[in-house]
Amino acid sequence: MSDIFLFAAICFIVMALALLFRLIKGPTAADRAVAADSIEILADLALILFALYSGRSIYLDIALVTALLGFVGSVIIGRYLEGKL
């Protein structure tokens, strides 16, 4: 069962690498912001699955902190793109 968690975490990392192309080449700033937010979510999911695989809760704490920072970053980028920052 734990091998499934590891395999899913690796799949999330591969999907994040595919989104890296959109982050670099995105035609607009909004596309780049969505790609960056999606990469952050996939990295958090991979951290959660790795925490389940390894049985250590420190990875859950790291995933929680990066999710909060990702949310704050998304709000700041959204306000900047609207011109209110």
Strand ranges (E), the chain: none
Q: Which residue would you say has higher pLDDT here, 70 or 6?
A: 70
- Containing structural domain, residue 54: 2-82
Q: What pLDDT is recorded for position 63?
A: 95
Contact between 74 and 37 (Cβ < 8 Å): yes
Residues 85, 82: Cα–Cα separation, whole Å: 8
Token code pair at residue 65: 């902190």
The total domain count for the chain is 1
Contact between 85 and 76 (Cβ < 8 Å): yes
pLDDT band of residue 4 (cuts 50, 70, 90) is confident
Q: What pLDDT is recorded for position 59?
A: 94
Tens of pLDDT along 17-73?
A: 889 999 999 899 889 999 999 999 988 988 998 898 889 999 999 999 999 999 999
| 47 burial level (CB within 10 Å; 0-12, 13-18, 19+) | buried
